[in-house]
Amino acid sequence: MDSGLEPSEALDDPSNATSPSVPSPRRPVASKELHSEISSELLTHRNYTYFLILDKGWSLHDAHDIAQNVFIRYYQARAAPGFHFTAGDGGRAFVRTLVKRCIADFRRIRDRHPEDPTPAEKFPEKPLDDPAFAELDDLNKIKQFLRKHLPDNQYKAFILRHLYDYQVQEISQEMGVDRRTIRRWLDKAAETLRQIPPNALT
């Protein structure tokens, strides 16, 4: 469902990554109960949101900016009277839609304001000194390792099952294939990973 809201131009400070942001006070404020419900949903969707963004090859810094915009739009849409999810998946399909839109917006903004042409290696990214980013960085390294050793379909099924606690039925719906195929992919992925020498895991 389209929230009909324009993307926020102001993204929050990285220190708020563990508690996704709420919109500007100029927006209608949700009731205390609804605010608590939405905040809980955002925390539930947080890692999945980063997974969707990082899986497209964005850096952790860029992923933070995109994710914050996703969280803002999610909050604004959920706080609107009469809003409801249509997919019956607790909002994951809506998160996927928002991620696509926010990535597109991020690209448009970057195209309008290209970065300095000076080689990037002269300007190393400043570390994000928040434990949440260390956790995301670790997850990203795990995903990079899995992507190196697994075919795309097995990689995604394995990530959703073991990093994001999806059930086989949920993975089946997410990937658009039957449960038997998902189980076969998971079994093949596990077998492949068991055959990797232990020293390759470090």
**Residue 72: inside a domain:** yes
Is residue 158 situated within a structural domain? no
Instruction: Count how many domains the chain has.
Output: 1
- Does residue 48 lie within any of the structural domains? yes
Structure pTM?
A: 0.60
| Domain, as residue range, for 70 | 7-117
User: How distant is the alpha carbon of residue 196 from its chain centre?
Assistant: 28
Neighbours of 31 (CB within 10 A): 9
Q: Identify whether 22 is part of a domain.
A: yes
pLDDT 10s per residue in the chain (202 long)?
444 443 333 333 434 444 454 555 455 556 888 889 999 999 888 888 988 888 888 888 888 899 999 999 999 999 998 888 887 778 888 998 999 999 999 999 888 866 544 444 443 444 445 555 566 667 777 878 888 899 999 998 998 888 777 889 889 988 899 999 999 999 999 999 888 887 765 5
Residue 11, in any domain of the structure? yes
The reply to whether 103 falls in a domain is yes
Whether 82 is covered by a domain: the verdict is yes
Classify residue 42: in a domain, yes or no.
yes
